[in-house]
Chain A
């Protein structure tokens, strides 16, 4: 960690002007210091995102060309934190591409008893139910959009529901939808990089854009070798 993000932060914690500007009563067009956020657990990412973390009320879209580039690892610190919150609330997994593997989640510190997996062909309906119920700390949804799908309006409904219930909602989508508009608060695109990931900020409140790298903290297995 400790890498400088490739875009310069609007506010820095150590300079006096920055701390003044971070005052919650002060609103600047591009900083959005007042947005509620949850820390991502990755300092580089926290610095780069407006408000210092994942939007706490609303949609975040994570676009990736395929599963397995680290999209779940990005959320692990958040899921662990939600697991320790009281009263207990669900972490809903709507239409995940594979089975969430319980041993890996448990060893990452995510409490299994709060995970709720929903298998469905209509993820939008299930997402809306899960968000509207107010029983979920966060909702993760995987959308596989077919060409010609008009998701705009449905996503808008989800965004409004998430704001109403004050829940962070994460949608995992293909990279191909990057060109279409979305009401999400935050859009990130995930690219592969050895030992980490490259994140491209496509959309955020305050209009900040750019790309930055993050490193995975876990160590690879002890033994190395090829068969």
Chain B
């Protein structure tokens, strides 16, 4: 069967180029829909004497598009055609020889795949070669050809510049000084001498390029999601009813996650009503989890916060990206008792508080190296295991200043008349920030107001020399 297919592709190899250019109807049609049909693809370079074992298709994206997210999307597209998909820094490589027959030949497969890429807004450069590295090199060089025979691969690789291997500038310079500028010249160098000068790694790369050595590649696994929809038998009005209806769905989610030893930290719930827009709830957990009970607690807090516009007639639960989840064994002691470690308590607390109060209501503190008091600190994501910010340098700087334990978010008017204040210390002049538009020019004083509270107040240096209250020495 393979022999017949190869014969067919050889036949195409002789006829196809003429067909494309000679057919006057082909050109306008191509311009109209921009989809590569089978006829647009170049012929497969095959050999009657060399049995192709693997054929790798490289789909390479320009640097600006090659984000992990886009590559993941491209990988998922490719996964439909073969399970042997692998990601490179800017490309997706897939082995198509094994599944070519199923899709009606390599031409059909490639045309279908490229068509699907185009439909999802990606225009990768591509090439087909017997080794993954060769396919990658050809695709990067923009040579959209299909080579299946190893003995014909060399002829195609030979004219490419050595830069297409992506080696370091130093290596390329040394090759240039040897007068080696193309891959052909590089492959003609004596092996022993080459290995001595450039290392065994470089020689291995060349072997992998030509197919002398195999190149094991890490396989790509498409991302999994959990999605379940359930229509209740009657309209759900109360939050308890909704939560009760969600319990079996959350149980399904837990089983799904446990089977994969994964956890999720994002849950999306869509509640449909008879009329009007759906209610969407996005739940973010502080750490990935699997337990249906915990999901139910957090969802319950979120539901309690939201007023639903109408009764619910349909629920849909979706998970975010699955993450590897490592279960911890519970400590025998209570947290911090007898030096026991803290387990899941800390993220659980933050989650519960955030689910009810909103995520911006729960925060940690962080120092900022600034003289302006209001921006010498900022809100930080709470993280117990964060590295300590109290470096010796920062502390030395701080120890020379007298700062209040409380700061007002906005400087306020003085709580009493200036004449009633008792002066304790000052002035400390803070005059900075002219470069970013938030300039301050102030003289700070430590004062005591009539009731005995120590305040931190300042006087504007600019007219009208207003007095403002900025902090409290708690």
The reply on B189 being an interface residue by CB < 8 A is no
Interface of B is mostly: mixed
Do B361 and A222 have beta carbons less than 8 Å apart? Answer: no
**Complex-state Cα separation, A119 to B3, whole angstroms:** 74
In the bound complex, residues from chain B placing their C-beta under 8 Å from that of A120 are 353, 357, 361
Kindly report which residue of chain A lies nearest to residue B465, judged by CB atoms: A227
**Complex-state Cα separation, A67 to B346, whole angstroms:** 29
In the bound complex, residues from chain A placing their C-beta under 8 Å from that of B348 are 133, 135
Do A192 and B349 have beta carbons less than 8 Å apart? Answer: no
Kindly report which residue of chain A lies nearest to residue B352, judged by CB atoms: A129
In the bound complex, residues from chain B placing their C-beta under 8 Å from that of A72 are 405-406, 474
Instruction: Identify the stretch in B19-27, B84-92, B125-133, B363-371 within 8 Å (CB) of chain A at 4 or more residues.
Output: B363-371
The reply on B407 being an interface residue by CB < 8 A is yes
Given contacts A107-B398, A165-B334, contact A99 B427 (CB under 8 A): no
Kindly report which residue of chain B lies nearest to residue A121, judged by CB atoms: B357
**How many CB-defined contacts (below 8 Å) exist between A and B?**
202
The reply on A102 being an interface residue by CB < 8 A is yes
Do B367 and A90 have beta carbons less than 8 Å apart? Answer: no
The reply on A30 being an interface residue by CB < 8 A is no
In the bound complex, residues from chain B placing their C-beta under 8 Å from that of A126 are 353, 357
Interface residue count on the B side (C-beta < 8 Å): 70
In the bound complex, residues from chain B placing their C-beta under 8 Å from that of A112 are 364-367, 380, 389-390
Kindly state the interface size class of chain A when it binds its partner. Answer: 35 or more
Do A223 and B364 have beta carbons less than 8 Å apart? Answer: no
**Complex-state Cα separation, A105 to B123, whole angstroms:** 55
Do B445 and A227 have beta carbons less than 8 Å apart? Answer: yes
Do A106 and B367 have beta carbons less than 8 Å apart? Answer: yes
The reply on B237 being an interface residue by CB < 8 A is no
In the bound complex, residues from chain A placing their C-beta under 8 Å from that of B399 are 107
Kindly report which residue of chain B lies nearest to residue A224, judged by CB atoms: B425
**Complex-state Cα separation, A97 to B426, whole angstroms:** 25
Minimum CB–CB distance from B382 to chain A (whole Å) comes to 5
The reply on B202 being an interface residue by CB < 8 A is no
Q: With contacts A98-B406, A102-B365 known, what are 18 further pairs, Cβ within 8 A?
A: A67-B453, A71-B474, A99-B407, A100-B405, A100-B407, A101-B377, A103-B401, A104-B403, A112-B366, A113-B384, A129-B349, A130-B349, A133-B352, A135-B349, A221-B402, A221-B446, A222-B425, A223-B426
